[in-house]
Amino acid sequence: MSKKKKAKNMAQISKGKVEEVVGKATNDDQLEAEGTVDQMAGHLKQAGENAKDVFKT
């Protein structure tokens, strides 16, 4: 997996965590949900990259 893609995926996961925490703190359900979605998307992308690495060898 390229380091650039890994960093981008981790940034999306981190952004999602921040959004989720801020959403909980401000009682904003929509922001909290968006944070959860961002985290899931980042994890899915990361898993896809890991799968590609497995099949490259």
pLDDT digits (tens, 9 = 90+) for 37-51: 999 999 999 999 888
**Does a structural domain hold residue 57?**
no
Q: What is the pTM of this model?
A: 0.84
3-state secondary structure of 51: helix
**Does a structural domain hold residue 56?**
no
29-56 and 3-25 helices cross at what angle (nearest 10)? 160
Number of domains in the chain: 1
The residue range of the domain holding 31 is 3-51
**Does a structural domain hold residue 31?**
yes
Of 51, 41, 56, 49, give the one whose Cα is nearest residue 5: 49
Per-residue pLDDT reduced to its tens digit, 6-55 = 899 999 999 999 999 999 999 999 999 999 999 999 999 999 988 888 88
Residues 6+ apart with CB under 8 A from 25: none
**Does a structural domain hold residue 14?**
yes
Contact 36, 20 (CB under 8 A): yes
**Does a structural domain hold residue 26?**
yes
